[in-house]
Amino acid sequence: MLKKRPKVVLLVFGKGGHTAQMNRFINNQPKQSKVYDYVALTNSNKILGQFLAQYYLQEARDKYSVVKNIFVFFTYLLLSSFQMMRIMCKYRVVGMISTGPGMAVVPGLFCRLLGAKIIYFESWSRISTPAIAGKFMYHIAHLFFIQHKSIQKYYPKAIYMGRL
């Protein structure tokens, strides 16, 4: 039964700029290069279309409260693990693409452990300092792209590609 699962690429992105970057990525790739269907794991309400399915995932941290972060992080760990198990049971994830939110770390670990290829885009808002998620994903991702040359010093093996 597990072998008959459809092969998919998991897209992990957050609200706002992360959604905009993923939208640009999806819309700017050649149509003939799309081999697998996409499954989205996101907290964005903006449906970009072109997904086989969409699953909800909350942020990994609260940007405004250190105290809330403890509860938010543990909730994120549980929810992201649960959602990844649901996705992995229903689909055969062969790859993961993320546009930079912290919520990508746990799905990235799941995908890496199960042999899926991971592509990570450090957020275009990162001009002079790396993101916390980027520091983790740099070691997890198979391909790591940066959108500003100024952060190449933090990610020596990253590929500069310019803005999405």
Residue 11: CB partners within 8 Å, gap ≥ 6?
22, 26, 38, 39, 40, 41, 42, 51, 96, 97, 98
Cα(126)–Cα(144) distance, integer angstroms: 14
Res 1: pLDDT: 56
* Sequential pLDDT tens for the chain (164 residues): 567 899 999 999 988 878 888 888 888 877 766 788 999 999 887 666 678 899 998 887 777 777 777 788 888 889 999 999 999 999 999 999 999 778 999 999 999 999 999 999 987 666 677 788 889 999 999 999 988 888 889 999 999 987 76
Q: Which of 61, 78, 79 is nearest to 70 (CA)?
A: 61
pTM of the full structure? 0.88
